[in-house]
Amino acid sequence: MSPIKNVAVAGATGNVGLATFNALQTAGFTVKALTRGSSASSLSADVNVNVATVDYSSIESLTEALKGQDAVVSCLGAFALACQPNLVEAASAVGVKRFIPAEFGADTLNPQVRAFPILKDKFQVQKMLAEKYEETGMTYSLLFSGLFFDWGLENGMILGVKNRKGTLYDGGSTVISTTTIASVAKGIIGCLLRPEETKNRGVYIQDAAISQNKLVELTNKVNPGAWDLKEASTIELENLAMAAFERKDPNPMSMAGSVFRMYFGGELYGQPFKKLDNDLLGIKGMADEEVEMMIRSICASDSAPDMSFN
């Protein structure tokens, strides 16, 4: 039986954070949501929810909130990752047993991925976690899940299946690892239920290894029609991103090309994942028929497609 019972979730009102919070509660963990004051309302309406309003810039605030917690799951968004070191410091100070940082994406242990400066905050936390294990015994799991499958089909980061619009990267034939947000939450729970097997290492999950071209094919079965597709070279996007980094472009989106390169750049960047922990964590994956069902559900949604990436 896992010694982990009390779990704090940082960023509990975001897409991954809320799914993780709800899944942890359903699985029987005692869960505390860490939120900024402005984002607590969606959780605090439930009297059974333990919400702690914290200041992520204050180690003292975080230390107080994390007392009595066995594990911390960080679901902080990309623009809040600079706050993670404070979480690590606070967690190690109060005897937290397991820390799961905000990874949930590309394999940041891959040497090519580690060359991207956009990920420096994640690398800093990985280094801190290794150091804190030596100092205090606090263990960690780095959960890698590839692109969020459902989210990436809703907002066009992978493809916009509802309005048949998107960008094919390097011709659309690259097979990538993808995982739904619900399965990411399940993977997090799996790491907490199997702490020894997932201790101090990269943990890899996916629902499907699939290409954009295959997704076009599956979408045509449930939402046929003409597509508005652009093409882009991930090498060119990477070059643009690195040029923006060199000139110190203040716009964080100027580095977006690095993201598409690390996900759609193929085997050099560890895509798709070669070794999976699906069986260990209870992730069964998705057959083509299940992917079709997900696409059908997205297309049938009343909400307008969010094409943030196209």
Residue type at position 292 = E
256 confidence band (pLDDT: 50, 70, 90): confident
- For the chain, the 3-state helix, strand and coil shares in percent, each to the nearest 5, are 45, 15, 35
Four-point Cα dihedral 98, 179, 14, 116, nearest 10: 80
**pLDDT of 49:** 76
Average pLDDT over residues 205-226: 97
- Percent of the chain clearing pLDDT 90 (strictly above): 82
Average pLDDT over residues 236-265: 88
Exposure of 212 in the CB half-sphere (CA atoms within 13 A): 29
**Residue 48 DSSP code:** T
**pLDDT of 44:** 47
Q: How far is CA 191 from the centre of its chain?
A: 15
**pLDDT of 48:** 64
pLDDT digits (tens, 9 = 90+) for 264-287: 999 999 999 999 999 999 999 999
What are the structure tokens assigned to 10, written together? 């940082």
Average pLDDT over residues 176-180: 98
pLDDT digits (tens, 9 = 90+) for 106-156: 999 999 999 999 999 999 999 999 999 999 999 999 999 999 999 999 999
Average pLDDT over residues 200-213: 98
- Pairwise CA distance, residues 207 & 228, whole Å: 27
244 confidence band (pLDDT: 50, 70, 90): confident
Q: State yes or no: pLDDT of 54 exceeds 90.
A: yes
CB atoms within 10 A of CB 290: 13
Q: State yes or no: pLDDT of 307 exceeds 70.
A: no
